[in-house]
């Protein structure tokens, strides 16, 4: 009798339908759906320029800043920013050009190397994922499907992966629209070099010249409010002058 009961239990489990939270999507299909939803299925936004307003929450202060970022692929970017940090006006430029990088603060230029350079590379490829999900099919990225979940209260297809540096991330895509909802990355270096989990939540998608872009992105760090970004301008570039990525 016990053997019969055990056999019946095994058969019941085998025939039971998969639970919804165990469902997994095909990674390529998820990426392709996202590209179509973003309006980039037939054109690549690999080269682009974004202008934004930021509110940075740090040390109990909310700091307002404006940024202009020009990027090409996942290894070249120039980000210019200006803000008021505790009553001090600061203007800066951060440049990443392949395996080289520089940072300028109020005209004081320094080379980026070691961990500082690696951190900028990670920040750049993470920022590219939401704008251009097809990069996940490119060299250096490895992705796999995880069980469907929810993000920002919406059902989501989930991809887990590693970037060119071998570090992990997780991306949530809206099951209904295909648009990226959220990006989670553990061990992201902060201003002081300390590492913590960062979560990007994308909202308020708008059309910028035929390409959809989250006009609002909120970032938490270690579970605390960190950055709110509001995109004011975005455009895809046909090409970028090589001088853009020269040392400031």
- Model confidence at 39: pLDDT above 80: yes
Task: List Cβ neighbours of 52 (8 Å cut-off, separation of 6 or more).
Answer: 66, 67, 68, 69, 229, 230, 231, 232
| Stated pTM of the model | 0.87
- Model confidence at 16: pLDDT above 50: no
Burial of 183 (0-12, 13-18, 19+ CB in 10 A): buried
pLDDT bracket for residue 23 (50, 70, 90)? low
What separation in angstroms does the CA of 95 have from each of 115, 126, 242?
15, 16, 12
Note the CATH architecture for domain 19-238. Clam (2.50)
Q: What's the rounded Cα separation, in Å, for the pair 86 and 107?
A: 19
* % of the chain residues with pLDDT over 90: 78
Place of tokens 């040390």: 59
Query: Quick one: pLDDT at residue 21?
Result: 44
pLDDT bracket for residue 144 (50, 70, 90)? very high
Place of tokens 């970028």: 240
Gyration radius from the chain CA atoms = 21
* Domain regions of the chain by residue span: 19-238
Per DSSP, 11 falls in state: H
pLDDT bracket for residue 44 (50, 70, 90)? confident
Cross-strand bridge partners of residue 154: 151
- Model confidence at 4: pLDDT above 50: no
Other Cβ atoms less than 10 A from the Cβ of 166: the count is 8
Residue 237 and residue 48 in contact, taking contact as beta carbons nearer than 8 Å:
yes
For the segment 72-113, what is each residue's pLDDT rounded down to a tens digit? 999 999 999 999 877 888 899 999 999 999 999 998 999 999
Paired sense of beta strands 61-72 and 47-58, if any: antiparallel
- Model confidence at 17: pLDDT above 90: no
């Amino acid at each position: 009798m016990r053997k019969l009961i055990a056999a019946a239990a095994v058969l019941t489990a085998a025939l039971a339908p998969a639970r919804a939270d165990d469902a997994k999507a095909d990674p390529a299909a998820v990426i392709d759906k996202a590209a179509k939803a973003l309006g980039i299925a037939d054109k690549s936004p690999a080269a682009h320029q974004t202008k934004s307003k930021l509110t940075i929450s740090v040390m109990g202060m909310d700091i307002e800043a404006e940024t202009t970022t020009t990027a090409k692929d996942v290894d070249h970017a120039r980000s210019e920013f200006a803000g008021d940090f505790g009553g001090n006006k600061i203007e800066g430029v951060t440049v990443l050009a392949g395996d080289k990088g520089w940072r300028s603060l109020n005209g004081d230029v320094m080379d980026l190397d070691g961990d500082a350079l690696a951190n900028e590379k990670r920040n750049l490829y993470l920022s590219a994922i939401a704008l251009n999900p097809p990069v996940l099919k490119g060299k250096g990225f490895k992705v796999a499907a995880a069980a469907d979940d929810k993000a920002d209260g919406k059902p989501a297809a989930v991809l887990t992966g590693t970037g060119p540096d071998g570090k992990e991330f997780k991306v949530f895509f809206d099951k209904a629209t295909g648009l990226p909802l959220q990006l989670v990355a553990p061990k992201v270096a902060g201003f002081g070099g300390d590492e913590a989990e960062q979560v990007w939540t994308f909202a308020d998608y708008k059309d910028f010249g035929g390409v959809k872009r989250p006009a609002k992105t909120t970032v938490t760090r270690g579970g605390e409010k960190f950055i709110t970004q509001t995109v004011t301008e975005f455009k895809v570039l046909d090409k970028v002058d090589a001088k853009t990525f020269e040392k400031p």
